[in-house]
Amino acid sequence: MAHGPSSHGSSVHGSSAPGAGIRPMQAGKSPALSGTCTVPGDKSISHRSLILGLLAVGETTVSGLLEGEDVMRTAAAARALGATVDHLGPGAWRVLGMGVGTLLEPKGVLDFGNAGTGSRLMMGVIGGHPITATIDGDASLRKRPMGRILDPLRKMGVEVISAADGNRCPLTIRGAHDCIPIEYVTPVPSAQIKSAVLFCGLNAPGETTVIEAEASRDHTEKMLAYFGAEIRSENHGAHGRKVTLKGRPELTPRPIVVPADPSSAAFPIVAALIVPGSEITVRSVMMNPLRIGLITTLLEMGADITELERRIEGGEEVADLRVRHSALKGVFVPAERAPSMIDEYPVLAVAAAFASGETRMNGLQELRVKESDRLQAVADGLAANGVQHEIVGDDLIVSGKGVRAPGGGLVATHMDHRIAMSFLVMGLASEKPVGVDDTSFIATSFPDFVPLMTRLGGVFS
Ligand code: S3P
């Protein structure tokens, strides 16, 4: 890849590179939301589609790929490692892959921008190959802990040549010459850690095993199996999984259909629940059980969400969801649910601000190491908009009054797309408009967010 750490690559849509210019926005009290929408392809599956395409010999076609900035960074990295990645049409991509063991050493820095998933999964891929690569990103990515990925990779034979303080980006690694298969117990439930170890293990002789105390999203396992790898997943303890991969498989390209991202669907869903009179349908939302903790929680809060048709698309369960404005009530959200809704807490906190009573979300420590310290960013956003709340240890307690939240605040988004979208959703139903200081990072995961919400009736200025 030719560009250096401070450049921003180009979007297929051209105009929406995050960081290219700060774009404040505000959302105001909106009429009832109505209509049908389809949110973009799942971000997790989109990254993995390009990575699997890189690691299989021959042509992988992908439809429904999320064409957000984060995924485009992974596409650029796949090219730098030797794949040919072509954009065929909206959401349609073709990857001509190199195969496990044959990746090229990238010529320049791999700049992942804002993307934790792309950078961490690619560290695993690179780790399994005897090549040297420098991985970097924007100011948000540079703050995020990478030791959680480097620790198991070191055990597999990866050398960390350099890293910024605290095992952070920019960092340079030399992948293993003879990759060592390991059994690794993850220190926190994280699909990114699990996936990095499995991707590295692809080029190890023998079996690589990852054990997690609480099951995280299983897209890597499912997609590796779909591409012909020998991989098995067993229950482990009360909520955990043990995943075992046989190394050096011959991965066979298969067509991939990317389902709609439940983490993006969360925004129109919560918006419809809190804007009085709303009724919308969100089409083909992925209902993978390891991704729908938010839906479970909203139903417990009394949300009127109806599945219209559950079916299988592209190997994942999907459903159309009809959502109506609802009188929500506060609930307790147990810590063990966190992996299945880890990215949805900011928008759940917004729903909780409109509910009656207390919503307590337990065990949110991982929110502190996302694109921003999301626990603090959410608390600050609630404070700015007059919503009573408290952080107790790693728990967030939001006290809703069962009426419109006051609003009227300006929210600091800290380069975090989900903070920006969550508080814009809040503004659609608040007494006074809610402002966010920068919407440019929304392009990392949901470039069409504002137009889509506007079509449903949302008012932005
Ligand atoms: C992701 C896993 C999650 C999630 C991230 C995407 C993935 O991170 O927050 O947005 O695609 O594997 P962790 O696995 O580190 O919790």
pLDDT along the chain (461 residues), means of 10: 33 47 96 98 98 98 98 98 98 96 97 98 98 98 98 98 98 98 98 98 98 98 98 97 97 97 99 98 98 98 96 94 98 98 98 98 98 98 98 98 96 98 98 98 98 98 98
**Residue 328: closest CA among 273, 396, 399, 385:** 273
Element (H, E) at 255: none
Instruction: Tell me, in angstroms, the distance from the centre of ligand 1 to residue 190's CA.
Output: 6
What does the pLDDT read at residue 17? 58
Atom of ligand 1 nearest to the CA of 343: 9
Nearby residues of 451 by Cβ (< 8 Å), 6 or more positions away: none
Instruction: Tell me, in angstroms, the distance from the centre of ligand 1 to residue 360's CA.
Output: 22
Q: Is the CB of 342 under 6 A from ligand 1?
A: yes
**Closest residue by CA, ligand 1 atom 10:** 343
Q: Considering the chain, what percentage of its residues have pLDDT values greater than 90?
A: 94
Token couple for 197: 């170890």
Q: Is the CB of 439 under 6 A from ligand 1?
A: no
What does the pLDDT read at residue 3? 32
Instruction: Tell me, in angstroms, the distance from the centre of ligand 1 to residue 277's CA.
Output: 34
Element (H, E) at 293: helix 293-300
- The 10 Å CB-count burial string (b at 16+, else e) for 365-400 is ebbebbbbbbbebbbbbbebbbbebeeeebbbbbbb
**Residue 460: closest CA among 16, 24, 28:** 28
Q: Tens digits of per-residue pLDDT, 227-274? A: 999 999 999 999 999 999 999 999 999 999 999 999 999 999 999 999
CATH superfamily for domain 25-42+259-460: Enolpyruvate transferase domain (3.65.10.10)
- Could you tell me the fold of the domain covering 43-244? UDP-n-acetylglucosamine1-carboxyvinyl-transferase; Chain (3.65.10)
**Closest residue by CA, ligand 1 atom 11:** 44
Would residue 178 show up in a list of annotated catalytic residues for this protein?
no
At position 400, the amino acid (one-letter code) is G
Q: Is the CB of 117 under 6 A from ligand 1?
A: yes
Sheet containing strand 58-63, strands side by side: 84-89, 92-97, 58-63, 256-257
Within 13 Å and on the Cβ side, how many CA atoms surround 147?
A: 9
What are the φ and ψ backbone dihedral angles of 195, each rounded to 5 degrees?
-70, -40
Domain boundaries, the chain: 25-42+259-460, 43-244
Q: Is the CB of 119 under 6 A from ligand 1?
A: no
Q: Is the CB of 191 under 6 A from ligand 1?
A: yes
- Strand ranges (E), 2-149: 25-28, 34-37, 58-63, 84-89, 92-97, 110-111, 132-136
What does the pLDDT read at residue 98? 87
Within 13 Å and on the Cβ side, how many CA atoms surround 405?
A: 38
Q: Is the CB of 343 under 6 A from ligand 1?
A: yes
Sheet containing strand 388-392, strands side by side: 332-333, 356-361, 395-401, 388-392
Q: Is the CB of 190 under 6 A from ligand 1?
A: yes
Nearby residues of 194 by Cβ (< 8 Å), 6 or more positions away: 186, 210, 212, 216, 220, 243
Catalytic site residue from 111, 261, 343, 438: 343
Atom of ligand 1 nearest to the CA of 263: 10
Atom of ligand 1 nearest to the CA of 190: 14
By DSSP bridging, strand 231-236 and strand 256-257 are unpaired
Instruction: Tell me, in angstroms, the distance from the centre of ligand 1 to residue 35's CA.
Output: 30
The three-state secondary structure class of 165 is coil
What does the pLDDT read at residue 105? 98
What does the pLDDT read at residue 19? 58
Q: Is the CB of 366 under 6 A from ligand 1?
A: yes
Q: Is the CB of 372 under 6 A from ligand 1?
A: no
Q: How far, in Å, CA of 404 to CA of 427, rounded?
A: 10
Are 217 and 339 in contact by the 8 Å Cβ rule? The answer is yes
Q: How far, in Å, CA of 240 to CA of 72, rounded?
A: 32
Atom of ligand 1 nearest to the CA of 47: 11
What does the pLDDT read at residue 18? 67
Ligand 1 pocket test target in 241, 342, 367 with most atoms within 8 Å of CB = 342
**Residue 209: closest CA among 239, 231, 240:** 231
Q: How many CB atoms lie within 10 A of CB 90?
A: 10
Instruction: Tell me, in angstroms, the distance from the centre of ligand 1 to residue 343's CA.
Output: 8
Would you say the CATH fold of 43-244 matches that of 25-42+259-460? yes
